[in-house]
């Protein structure tokens, strides 16, 4: 292998690794706040990527209707679970957020499709369409069992993943889609070329990580989310509603998934079920980070991306096997070095 191939594989790996880093961070975030191992994270990638590809092709994506359906389901759940305290104000507020908002998004999407304003607006619209699915999903599937064990939440997450894959098939169909690159710029660096798409991925990943860092470090909402992750009883004692923390965490997960999808759909053809495998790579990184450490997860994600790139060059049939085998030594070392501890104070 010469140095050009080496550099090329490295670049390829870092590009994929950046995406895995975003997904790994979302998994750590959701687990820390809600204790849900968020298997369906990859579905948001598929939804986001396919939504963006359809918008770029000038078509109205099925997710615009899907978000209305999710909102209606969440609205119904809310009314049933709070049937004893139904007041006009509560119903109006819930209707605004769970029915009005998705309908507004649907009409906005129709207007945007008619106007064809370009990639940046399509990116923003993709986020606006996919993001509310996160909190609606939390309301429907996870909030009713928020106090259940991690295992029960995991089983639910697998169920949600299967359901969302099926829903994806209904709304997008079985055909794969690809979008044109965000930028067609090409930048030669030594023997290799860096594309505008690569630079976009690095820039957006870095910007999202910085934004998350500021959100958790500087804002009261971000601090409340961290507090929920550190000590759930303590959080309740200062008046932080766990359901609110859960909704915010799921919103962030949906946004991160949607952005990841937009970033990869110009590089690879996405199908309704592609997200799962992409999400799993993020999961490998999150596990290496112990499902608690954000920096370790991001670093591990880059490693996963690079290992995957080299594996696909040397033994492409074994690429996934090699990537997932990374987990074994990590889990062994973890189980040797950290004796199992139950939830501490």
Partner 1 sequence: MSALLAVEHLSVAYGRVEAVSDVSLSVAPGEIVTVIGANGAGKSTLLNAAMGLLPARGRVVFDGSDIGSVEAEDRVALGLCLVAEKRELFGAMTVEDNLILGAFRTGRSLAAETLAEVFARFPRLRERRAQLAGTLSGGERQMLAMGRALMSRPRLLMLDEPSLGLAPKVVADIFAIIRDLRATGVAILLVEQNARAALNAADRAYVMELGRIGLEGPASELASDPRIAESYLGLGG
Q: Which of 80, 189, 220, 328 binds partner 1 (CB under 8 A)?
A: 220
Q: Which tokens sit at 243?
A: 């359901």
Binding piece for partner 1, criterion CB under 8 A, among 16-24, 61-69, 98-106, 238-246: 238-246
Q: Where are the alpha helices (DSSP H) in the chain?
A: 3-34, 41-56, 63-81, 88-95, 101-115, 119-130, 133-137, 150-172, 196-218, 220-230, 232-237, 242-264, 275-288, 294-314, 319-325, 327-337
Check residue 239 for interaction with partner 1 (CB under 8 A).
yes
Q: How far is the CB of 60 from partner 1 (least distance, A)?
A: 40
Structure tokens at 195: 């594309």
> Which DSSP letter does residue 51 get?
H
Q: Where in 242-261 is the site for partner 1 (CB under 8 A)? A: 242
- Residues that contact partner 1, how many (by CB under 8 A): 20
By CB under 8 A, name the one of 1, 189, 233, 328 that touches partner 1: 233
Q: Does 236 bind partner 1 (CB under 8 A)?
A: yes
Q: Kindly state whether residue 230 participates in binding partner 1, applying the rule CB under 8 A.
A: yes
Q: For residue 189, report the phi and psi dihedrals to the nearest 5 degrees.
A: -125, 105
* Shortest Cβ 231–partner 1 spacing (Å): 6
Place of tokens 């359809």: 54
The residue among 88 and 238 lying less far from partner 1, judged by its C-beta, is: 238
**Separation in Å, CA 288 to CA 22, 151, 154, 301:** 14, 19, 18, 9
Is 144 an interacting residue with respect to partner 1 (CB under 8 A)?
no
Residue 220 CA to residue 233 CA, distance in Å, equals 18
Task: Choose the stretch contacting partner 1; rule: CB under 8 A; options: 66-74, 115-123, 128-136, 220-228.
Answer: 220-228
Tell me if 329 contacts partner 1 by CB under 8 A: no
How far is the C-alpha of 127 from the C-alpha of 261, rounded, in Å? 10
Spell 54-85 as b/e; 16+ CB within 10 A means b.
bbbeeebbbbbebbbebbebbbebbeeeeeee
Q: Which is nearer to partner 1, 120 or 233 (CB)?
A: 233
User: Which one of 28, 39, 160, 224 is in contact with partner 1 (CB under 8 A)?
Assistant: 224
Given 95, 226, 296, 330, the residue binding partner 1 (CB under 8 A): 226
Name the site residues for partner 1 (rule: CB under 8 A). Answer: 84-85, 220, 223-224, 226-227, 230-231, 233-242, 345
């Amino acid at each position: 292998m010469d140095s050009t191939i080496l550099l090329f594989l490295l670049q390829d790996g870092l590009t994929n690794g950046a995406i895995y880093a975003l997904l790994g961070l979302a998994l750590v975030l959701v687990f820390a706040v809600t204790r849900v191992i968020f298997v369906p994270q990859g579905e948001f990638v598929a939804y986001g990527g396919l939504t963006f590809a359809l918008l770029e092709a000038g078509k109205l994506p099925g997710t615009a209707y899907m978000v209305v359906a999710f909102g209606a389901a969440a609205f119904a759940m809310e009314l049933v679970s709070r049937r004893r305290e139904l007041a006009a104000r509560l119903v109006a507020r819930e209707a605004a957020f769970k029915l009005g908002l998705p309908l507004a998004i649907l009409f906005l999407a129709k207007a945007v499709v008619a106007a064809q304003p370009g990639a940046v607006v399509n990116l923003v619209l993709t986020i606006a369409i996919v993001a509310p699915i996160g909190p609606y999903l939390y309301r429907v599937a996870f909030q009713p069992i928020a106090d259940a064990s991690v295992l029960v939440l995991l089983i639910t997450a697998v169920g949600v993943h299967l359901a969302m894959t099926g829903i994806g098939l209904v709304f997008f169909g079985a055909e794969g889609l690809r979008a044109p690159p965000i930028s067609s710029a090409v930048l030669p660096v030594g023997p290799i070329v860096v594309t505008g798409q690569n630079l976009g991925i690095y820039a957006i990943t870095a910007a999202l990580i910085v934004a998350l860092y500021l959100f958790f470090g500087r804002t009261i909402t971000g601090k409340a989310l961290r507090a929920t992750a550190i000590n759930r009883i303590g959080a309740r004692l200062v008046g932080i509603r766990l359901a609110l923390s859960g909704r915010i965490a799921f919103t962030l997960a949906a946004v991160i998934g949607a952005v990841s999808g937009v970033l990869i759909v110009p590089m690879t053809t996405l199908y309704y079920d592609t997200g799962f495998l992409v999400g799993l790579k993020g999961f490998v990184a999150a596990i290496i980070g112990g499902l608690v450490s954000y920096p370790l997860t991001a670093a591990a994600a880059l490693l996963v991306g690079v290992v995957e790139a080299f594996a696909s060059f040397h033994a492409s049939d074994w690429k996934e096997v090699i990537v997932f085998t990374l987990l074994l030594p990590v889990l062994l070392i973890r189980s040797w070095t950290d004796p199992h501890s139950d939830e501490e104070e």
